[in-house]
A and B are shown apart, each in its own frame.
Chain A
Amino acid sequence: MAGQLEFQLKTAERRVALSVSQLVRLVRETLELHLDQCWVVGEVSNTRLAPSGHLYFTLKDARAAINVVMFSSAVRRMRFRLDDGIQVVVRGRVNLYEHRGTLQFYAEEVEPRGFGALQLAYEQLKQRLAREGLFDAARKRTLPILPRRIGIVTALGGAALRDLLRVLLDRYPNLHIIIRPALVQGPSAPLEIASALDDLNADGNAEVIIVGRGGGSLEDLWAFNDETVARAICRSRIPVISAVGHEIDYSIADFVADVRAPTPTAAAQIAVPNKADLRGRLFEKQSALVNGVERQTSALRHQLVRLESRLPEPRILLRQLRQRLDTAWEELVEAANSRVSRHRVLLREFATRTRISPGIVAAGRLRVAHSATRLAQAMSARAGSCRVTLERNIAWLNETNLRAPVSQARSRLSRLFNQLETAWRSRLHQQRLTLAGQAGRLDAVSPLRVLHRGYALVTKTRDGETVVDAAQVELGDELDIRLGRGRLYARTLGRNLS
């Protein structure tokens, strides 16, 4: 075999072209010749179990990496799970996968070797920053409800940026978004991410910053476990949402950020509210305002109607009085008549018994008739005066509008309604009064101004009741006197009630 190899090397020197297959086979044969079975130490990453049962992973150290394949028969013999980040010793042989021309290590046996170095570095940094208080809940800022300018730190052209822009602008179409591009993987990523955060702070427009990237392997996300990035997030004056696309594992950036989102899409949802929802909420509040005032005014209206129905109708009252007068008159006339006729009967009986001369009887009869007439006249006069009084009262009732207070209340209510409507309309079309104007008005009516003119506000220390009458105060009561500036505390030594 060595002879053939030498022959082919010579061929190469003579610039006779090899086919790809020839070259790859040449390399494979060289490897087989010089590298037999060996043990390799390294960190496991990118573990993938194929449906065939073969296990593929990458073995690496600080400077290099190699693809490893472990066939299903060897996988079945393993007694532990090959998680990413662990340090292992692998026995096997290196060879060339001719089909792709890539170097592969064919593992036959794997032994664990404690935690991987990267994992260890992560744990150490996490503990150190936690001790410094970088993860403290008290340090975290609350996000504004309505940030109108959003800063983004991620790679231009990445899936994360596409997702962020789509969701942000869907939820809030008129946003101002400021993208500060940064590489998010590779050795320069930590420094780029950190200075991007600093730049957004220097620009000062963003009210929230989203920093992140889409999903990837543990190595791809490693920049977000870097101390430089953690420090930059910590010193950002603008609240930061981390969005490192990894549902399960937390990066160091996640711990330092004010809010951690599992994915860029989730970060966009956390960062801005849905504008249509906010609009709906405002509309609800507005309806609640209108309903509240309407409920109150309609309750007052009902009360008014109820009171009105309890007021007696004056005309009915008068009719009843008139009827009573009529009945009384009839009774009176009847009583008078029966009395006159009884007297007549008595007179006749008397005349019969005593045989008084017809002349005397006629005179008596005349007197009776005369009395009857006088009685009738007197009764009629009395009834007439009653009637006059009644008519006077009727006239008074007719003149006096018993419903005036009701209609006054009604017009006051409708005046308030008008005011309400005017106020509503003017708010629609006019600028709101300036705050300064309102403050001025407030100042003008403030009781404090009165106090500045030398008056004092006196309250009882015991219950805070305002004292307006000396009788409210007992001797010895403590008083609280508020002046234009400051307060006095006094005790009552005497009082004059007049």
Chain B
Amino acid sequence: MADSNPKKFEDEMADLEAIVTKIDSGELSLEESIAAFERGVALVRSLNQKLDEIERRVEVLIRDSRGELKRSPYQGELGSSAKSEDPEEDDTF
């Protein structure tokens, strides 16, 4: 239930954008650029992981006879192309 990631996707994305802008500005020394580059690459990797960390599940939430909330797998149809797995599953980083 609790989010396993201390930092949210959008926050990391914003950090990454800032790093790219900084490196592009040409204001950093070579050493600073390389440090920024390392941080950026780590962020790309973490963001890519975040894209994949959730398992595909379709569930139905109902109340059982005692009135308790219960989740069970959805038995219905999932639509046409939805059954195929993500073709771009290969991790780029």
Inter-chain contact B38/A162, CB cutoff 8 Å: no
Residue from A162, A202, A278 within 8 A of B77 (CB atoms): A162
Write out, one digit per residue, whether chain B residues 1-43 have a CB within 8 A of any chain A CB (1) or not (0). 1000010111001001101100110101011011001101110
A478 to chain B, nearest CB (A): 32
A178 with B61, Cβ < 8 A, contacts A145-B9, A146-B9, A296-B30 known: yes
A278 with B51, Cβ < 8 A, contacts A178-B59, A427-B38 known: yes
- The count of chain B contact residues (Cβ–Cβ below 8 Å) is 58
Inter-chain contact B34/A175, CB cutoff 8 Å: no
Q: Which of A163-171, A318-326, A386-394 contacts B (4 or more CB under 8 A)?
A: A163-171
Inter-chain contact B61/A203, CB cutoff 8 Å: yes
The answer to whether A490 has its CB under 8 Å from any CB of chain B is no
Which residues on A sit within 8 Å (CB–CB) of B31?
A: 416
The answer to whether B63 has its CB under 8 Å from any CB of chain A is yes
Alpha-carbon gap, A221 to B28, bound state (A): 59
A169 with B78, Cβ < 8 A, contacts A177-B58, A289-B19, A289-B20 known: yes
A174 with B82, Cβ < 8 A, contacts A292-B33, A297-B30, A419-B34 known: no
Q: With CB as the reference atom, state the residue of chain B lying closest to A283.
A: B92
Inter-chain contact B93/A170, CB cutoff 8 Å: no
Inter-chain contact A173/B69, CB cutoff 8 Å: no
Q: With CB as the reference atom, state the residue of chain A lying closest to B75.
A: A156
Which residues on B sit within 8 Å (CB–CB) of A276?
A: 86, 88
Residue from B40, B45, B53, B86 within 8 A of A275 (CB atoms): B86
The answer to whether B81 has its CB under 8 Å from any CB of chain A is yes
Interface SS of chain A: helix, strand, loop or mixed? helix
Alpha-carbon gap, A446 to B6, bound state (A): 24
Which residues on B sit within 8 Å (CB–CB) of A178?
A: 59-61, 71
A151-B61, A175-B57, A199-B61 given; name 5 further pairs at CB < 8 Å: A162-B79, A282-B92, A420-B37, A423-B41, A428-B45
* Chain B positions near chain A (C-beta within 8 angstroms): 1, 6, 8-10, 13, 16-17, 19-20, 23-24, 26, 28, 30-31, 33-34, 37-38, 40-42, 44-48, 50-63, 69, 71, 74, 76-82, 84-86, 88, 92-93
Alpha-carbon gap, A149 to B50, bound state (A): 13
Inter-chain contact B79/A169, CB cutoff 8 Å: yes
| A and B contact pairs by CB, cutoff 8 A, 17 listed | A162-B77, A165-B77, A165-B79, A166-B80, A169-B82, A173-B85, A179-B74, A203-B69, A275-B88, A279-B48, A288-B20, A289-B23, A293-B23, A293-B33, A416-B30, A419-B34, A432-B45
A485 to chain B, nearest CB (A): 29
The answer to whether A338 has its CB under 8 Å from any CB of chain B is no
A173 with B41, Cβ < 8 A, contacts A285-B16, A286-B93, A292-B23 known: no
Inter-chain contact B76/A174, CB cutoff 8 Å: no
Residue from A162, A163, A285 within 8 A of B20 (CB atoms): A285
A173 with B86, Cβ < 8 A, contacts A285-B16, A292-B23 known: yes
Which 4 interchain pairs have the tightest Cβ spacing? A166-B79, A292-B23, A169-B82, A148-B54
The answer to whether A300 has its CB under 8 Å from any CB of chain B is yes
The answer to whether A486 has its CB under 8 Å from any CB of chain B is no
Q: With CB as the reference atom, state the residue of chain A lying closest to B13.
A: A145
Alpha-carbon gap, A166 to B63, bound state (A): 26
B57 to chain A, nearest CB (A): 5
- The count of chain A contact residues (Cβ–Cβ below 8 Å) is 57
Alpha-carbon gap, A440 to B22, bound state (A): 25
Which residues on A sit within 8 Å (CB–CB) of B53?
A: 148
Inter-chain contact A204/B1, CB cutoff 8 Å: yes
The answer to whether A181 has its CB under 8 Å from any CB of chain B is yes
B33 to chain A, nearest CB (A): 5
A455 to chain B, nearest CB (A): 26
Residue from B13, B24, B62, B82 within 8 A of A166 (CB atoms): B82
Alpha-carbon gap, A396 to B27, bound state (A): 41
The answer to whether A46 has its CB under 8 Å from any CB of chain B is no
Inter-chain contact A292/B80, CB cutoff 8 Å: no
Q: With CB as the reference atom, state the residue of chain A lying closest to B29.
A: A296
Alpha-carbon gap, A177 to B72, bound state (A): 11
Residue from B8, B45, B52, B69 within 8 A of A144 (CB atoms): B8
Among A170, A199, A286, A416: residue with most chain B CB under 10 A = A286
Residue from B42, B60, B63 within 8 A of A432 (CB atoms): B42
Inter-chain contact B71/A176, CB cutoff 8 Å: no
Alpha-carbon gap, A288 to B23, bound state (A): 9
Which residues on A sit within 8 Å (CB–CB) of B34?
A: 293, 416, 419-420, 423
Query: Which residues of A in the span 118-172 have a Cβ within 8 Å of any Cβ on B?
Result: 144-146, 148-149, 151, 156-157, 161-163, 165-167, 169-170
Inter-chain contact B71/A293, CB cutoff 8 Å: no
Query: Which residues of A in the span 403-440 have a Cβ within 8 Å of any Cβ on B?
Result: 416, 419-420, 423-424, 427-428, 432, 435
Residue from A151, A202, A424, A435 within 8 A of B69 (CB atoms): A202
Alpha-carbon gap, A310 to B30, bound state (A): 24
Residue from A146, A199, A285, A416 within 8 A of B50 (CB atoms): A146
A166 to chain B, nearest CB (A): 3
Residue from A174, A179, A420 within 8 A of B59 (CB atoms): A179
A177 with B10, Cβ < 8 A, contacts A296-B26, A296-B33, A427-B42 known: no
